[in-house]
Homo-oligomer: A and B are copies of this chain.
């Protein structure tokens, strides 16, 4: 397998999400098996949902063992360096954000390759980027973070996906599209967290019955 920029970014994202999943599992005091499963599910959840919804089966990780090995190594890495990684919480946040940016790309591109409408491709991008974390949170019995905190999370994927589709329409070279899209997602997420930019809420004024 020759490694393109796309592959390298994809592997980076897989590593980042696997580590974030393993850390979340250790925080919830899950056992060794739980750690591997949550690492695995966080890393492949988004892509698996995408593949199942468009009918691209067997899903990607079944046909390319590289993902399994990378995730296992990442989980072992997280276990060994679990105390050091804690000090690196900011780096992890960065890795998680990189994963978000990269997986948005794979989602949008899959939609385009399957000749789906631009808006659907963007939705696939957001799903691929954000859904792994949603499953992780549900399995750890928490309200998914992307709903809880009004953080700019999947929203960044959607904006990045929009730029992807726009650039694709104007025949920009793919490598440039990849870089611009992931940097857009990453930049929006970093800026939103730094400056506490959140999405608006709309509460009914009545008391909750």
List A residues at the B interface (Cβ < 8 Å). Answer: 23, 25-35, 37-38, 48, 52-55, 57-59, 62-63, 65, 68, 79, 82-83, 86, 114, 116-117, 119-120, 123, 138-141, 143-144, 146-147, 150, 153-155, 198-206, 208
Taking the closest CB of chain B, its distance from the CB of A192, in whole angstroms, is 12
6 residue pairs from A and B, CB less than 8 Å apart: A27-B208, A31-B198, A32-B200, A48-B53, A65-B117, A138-B138
List the number of copies, as a whole number.
3
Given the complex, which residues of B lie within 8 Å of A120, measured CB to CB? Answer: 62, 65, 68
**Closest approach, in angstroms, between the C-beta of A40 and any C-beta of chain B?**
9
Complex Cα spacing A37 to B32, Å = 31
A83 cross-chain contacts in B, Cβ below 8 A: 204-206
Give Cα A34 to B151, complex, Å.
10
Known: A26-B202, A31-B198, A33-B146; 14 extra A-B contacts, CB below 8 A, are A26-B204, A27-B204, A29-B201, A31-B147, A34-B150, A54-B62, A55-B57, A62-B116, A63-B116, A79-B202, A82-B204, A83-B205, A139-B147, A141-B143
- A205 nearest CB across to chain B (Å): 5
Task: Write out the residue numbers on chain B whose beta carbons fall within 8 Å of the beta carbon of A86.
Answer: 204, 206
Contact status of A58 and B201, CB under 8 A, knowing A119-B65, A139-B144? no
A205: B residues at CB distance < 8 A: 83
Q: Shortest Cβ distance from A30 into chain B, in angstroms?
A: 5
Contact of B62 with A58 in the complex, beta carbons under 8 Å: no
